[in-house]
Structure 1
Amino acid sequence: MNHRNKNNHLGRKCGHRKSLLSNMASSLIKKKKIFTTLAKAKALKKYVEPIITKSKMNTLHSKRNVFSYLRDKTAVLELFKDLFEKVRKRPGGYTRIIKTGFRFGDQAPLSFIELVDFNETYTSKKKIKSVRRSRKKNKKNE
């Protein structure tokens, strides 16, 4: 039985799993979208959401706490920039997982994990205005 075992171990030992999630989280923060398996994406979502919540307070203490998780200076600097201001206003749910299909070799389920506020497809407010054209017969020609 799997009672009280909330985290997915991903078939790795503790140190390997921590470094895997740390590297994936820093890649997600830098690139805003990464392509991975579904199990890793779900584990990454549980790992990166509290980190983004901690980045809401722009203090030295929170920067050091985030650095202890990410271990990447450029990702920490990116997370505390003004570019992430729209993420800080959100009360939670900073990431989105989109299932894309199955891997060719072993049929593992694949997915995208992305930061919600950086996808232009879903966040654009501009609507395309459609022009209605009607074909009416010309009465003069008849």
Structure 2
Amino acid sequence: MPGTRKLGRSTDHRRAMLRAMVTYLLENGKIETTVTRAKEVRAMTEKMITTAKLDNLHSKRQAYSFITKEDVAKKLFDDIAPKYKDKNGGYTRIIKIGPRRGDAAEMAIIELV
């Protein structure tokens, strides 16, 4: 897995959380979360898009095993990956939006470019 941030969670919880966040980002195109989580989600999302650009059986099985919704994985191969066919990385953008009101955690918006 890309990145080494533990995010204060056990391995299973962290993996499930990141899978859900990557799925939601690919489904909706934008997420509001903390900066550290956004950096982890960016690494995994870019890896998924790069894998989907190959569009062979092996890459489809890898994507379907990671993304939690089947229709989102189909959208990844049909719509998202062809859009970035000529681009080598940099598929996402992180915009910092300031501290969260409750605990002053640094917040960010991560979106597909």
**TM-score w.r.t. structure 1 length?**
0.74
Aligned to 1:113, the other structure's residue is in SS state strand
2:40 is aligned to: 43
Runs of 4+ aligned structure 1 residues displaced above 3 Å come to none
8 A contact 1:96–1:114 mirrored in 2: yes
Aligned to 1:105, the other structure's residue is in SS state coil
- Of residues 98, 103, 113, the one that matches 1:101 is 98
Question: Partners in 2 of 1:19 and 1:83 — Cα distance?
Answer: 22
Question: Partners in 2 of 1:97 and 1:8 — Cα distance?
Answer: 17
Cα deviation for residue 58 of structure 1 reads: 1.3
The structure with the greater share of residues assigned to helix is 2
1:28 is aligned to: 25
8 A contact 1:30–1:75 mirrored in 2: yes
Question: Partners in 1 of 2:26 and 2:112 — Cα distance?
Answer: 8
1:64 is aligned to: 61
Query: How many correspondences in the alignment?
Result: 111
Deviations 1:66-112 (A, max 9, x none): 11121321110110114542222211111110000110010000000
Question: Partners in 1 of 2:41 and 2:109 — Cα distance?
Answer: 11
Deviations 1:3-45 (A, max 9, x none): xxx5100000001001100000000001011111111001111
Amino acid at match of 2:89: G
> Which has the higher relative contact order, 1 or 2, with Cα contacts under 8 A spaced 6 or more apart?
2
In structure 2, stretches of 5+ residues that fail to align are none
Aligned to 2:89, the other structure's residue is in SS state coil
8 A contact 2:52–2:81 mirrored in 1: no
In structure 1, stretches of 5+ residues that fail to align are 1-5, 117-142
The answer to whether the aligner puts 1:76 opposite 2:52 as a matched pair is no
Aligned to 1:55, the other structure's residue is in SS state helix
The answer to whether the aligner puts 1:19 opposite 2:16 as a matched pair is yes
CA RMSD of aligned residues (A): 1.2
- Of residues 114, 124, 128, the one that matches 2:111 is 114
